[in-house]
Amino acid sequence: MRDRLKIVIIGGDAAGLSAGAQIKRLSPETEVTVLERKNYISYSNCSIPYILSGKIASMQDIIHLTPEVYTATRGPEVIIAAEVIKINSSQKIVLFKKGGNVEKIHYDRLIIASGASYAEASYSLPSFVPVPEQFFNAKKMIDDGGIKKALVIGGGFAGLETALELQEAGVGAVILEGERILPGYSDDLRTDTLAYLSDRNIEIYENTLFHGVSQDGKARTSKGVVECDALFVCTGVLPNTDFIDIAKVKNGAIKVNYRMQTSDEHIFAAGDCASYINTQTGLNEYRPMGTYANRAGVIAGESALGFASRGLKVFGSQVLKLGEFQIGRTGITRSSEEIISEKYTSHKASALDAIAGEVNVRLFSSRKGIIKGCEFWGHGDALRRIYLLAALLETPLSSLIDADLPYSPLLSNVKDVIQVAALRLNSKIAVI
């Protein structure tokens, strides 16, 4: 009798658990073992900022499945508190630490889904990175009156969400960003976001570097001293990939092809530890996002079983809700020789003013009228615009112009901003 295929997965969250579940769906007889260094699995990193305002009240609100429930409902075995320290790929062995011992496990196929971590440093001020345990500690300090003003370092998505949630918890928030907030987004979008945050009394210093904390507990920056009670460090993550010697990109993320296969044909990688190929540009990109972790995990599972894959679609789709203000993007959002764009603003987010404020869209297409990308921002629903545009990328503008989109006065305008932008862009092409 042929031995059962053995697949080992490193990491018990979005990517790893998606891979494990898909393998068992397609091939229940395959032996699957998930190794996770924490004491728990299946948690929502994306919810972490909401701990500060109390929308997330306890670890139970963050954890979706216990190891027992995951094994019973999805199939793979899970070993928690098991930290992988080395891969011996010539012998196909994973070495891991468990309760003070070093143990080993053999694999036929290995899936690395070890995610990424925030770099931590110690300062003479309380400082927190976005991991659940640390944000629950911060929340306790806020509730005890120990944090009245906080410095948030980093003006990306996690930094902005953290600042908004701090402010909702009654804490004054100052954001420090070494370059400009929302890297990769247009100046128009950034300017309107800055104006909205400033209306919400959130102070922002761009092009300002953090130089540490002085002995007397003051945060030092390239533009002077900021008095605050705590630091929230949201400066981006680094892939957890030290335990393996394999082809990687500059930041240490593992290079994968469209099937999530690495430079070793028996090893696959998915999630925040991996770097993907952008579907439109063909370039390698590091995009540590839950959306990719879940889908890439499924594909890694299929590929590890030897199934042909449709491949991971990577267009850089994102959305963010900052109070009443929402932003989002998908696809290529920079004009160039080949790519033109049209911005359209509607001063009404819905026909009956049920939604206050304006909505903006910038639509990008090739000179031949193929949809390439979209940015959306303002007081309307970013999610539905980005959902639709992500599905229509690389199709002709007519697919958007002719789409049978519904309307109701409380929810929208009779012609949605994205359709008006498409009409305008189309007529621009006609006269070029």
Residues at the site binding ligand FAD, with contacts judged by CB under 6 A: 10-16, 35-38, 45-46, 48-49, 83-84, 113-116, 130, 158, 240, 243, 271-272, 288-291, 293
Comparison of 168 and 358: residue with beta carbon closer to ligand FAD:
168
Least distance to ligand FAD from the beta carbon of 301, Å?
13
> Would you give the DSSP letter of residue 385?
H
Comparison of 16 and 369: residue with beta carbon closer to ligand FAD:
16
Number of separate helices (H) and strands (E) present in the chain: 10, 26
Three-class secondary structure of residue 393 per DSSP = coil
Least distance to ligand FAD from the beta carbon of 288, Å?
5
Burial group, residue 425, by CB count within 10 angstroms (0-12, 13-18, 19+): buried
Comparison of 67 and 380: residue with beta carbon closer to ligand FAD:
67
Comparison of 39 and 91: residue with beta carbon closer to ligand FAD:
39
Q: Which two tokens stand for residue 416?
A: 């949605």
Least distance to ligand FAD from the beta carbon of 340, Å?
29
Three-class secondary structure of residue 421 per DSSP = helix
Are residues 92 and 105 in contact, defined by beta-carbon separation less than 8 angstroms?
no
Least distance to ligand FAD from the beta carbon of 10, Å?
5
Comparison of 45 and 365: residue with beta carbon closer to ligand FAD:
45
Comparison of 115 and 369: residue with beta carbon closer to ligand FAD:
115
Least distance to ligand FAD from the beta carbon of 169, Å?
16
Residue 181 has φ and ψ, to the nearest 5°, of: -65, 160
Residues 280 and 275: their CA atoms lie apart, in Å, by: 15
The number of C-alpha atoms within 13 Å of 342 and in the hemisphere containing its C-beta is: 20
Least distance to ligand FAD from the beta carbon of 240, Å?
4
Least distance to ligand FAD from the beta carbon of 324, Å?
17
DSSP E strand stretches across 263-306: 267-269, 274-277, 284-285
Residues 229 and 147: their CA atoms lie apart, in Å, by: 5
Comparison of 271 and 380: residue with beta carbon closer to ligand FAD:
271
Least distance to ligand FAD from the beta carbon of 115, Å?
2
Comparison of 128 and 344: residue with beta carbon closer to ligand FAD:
128
Least distance to ligand FAD from the beta carbon of 196, Å?
18
User: At a CB cut-off of 8 Å and minimum separation 6, what does 272 contact?
Assistant: 15, 115, 116, 237, 239, 240, 253, 288, 293
Least distance to ligand FAD from the beta carbon of 353, Å?
29
Least distance to ligand FAD from the beta carbon of 338, Å?
29
Comparison of 160 and 374: residue with beta carbon closer to ligand FAD:
160
Which candidate, 57, 24, 60, places its Cα nearest to that of 42?
60
Which candidate, 383, 318, 315, places its Cα nearest to that of 185?
318
Least distance to ligand FAD from the beta carbon of 242, Å?
8
Comparison of 45 and 208: residue with beta carbon closer to ligand FAD:
45
Comparison of 288 and 378: residue with beta carbon closer to ligand FAD:
288
Are residues 165 and 181 in contact, defined by beta-carbon separation less than 8 angstroms?
no
Which candidate, 21, 7, 37, 216, places its Cα nearest to that of 115?
37
Comparison of 264 and 416: residue with beta carbon closer to ligand FAD:
264
User: At a CB cut-off of 8 Å and minimum separation 6, what does 126 contact?
Assistant: 138, 141, 146, 147, 229, 230, 231
User: At a CB cut-off of 8 Å and minimum separation 6, what does 5 contact?
Assistant: 27, 29, 30, 31, 108, 109, 305
| End-to-end Cα, the chain, rounded Å | 68
Which candidate, 8, 7, 6, 3, places its Cα nearest to that of 95?
8
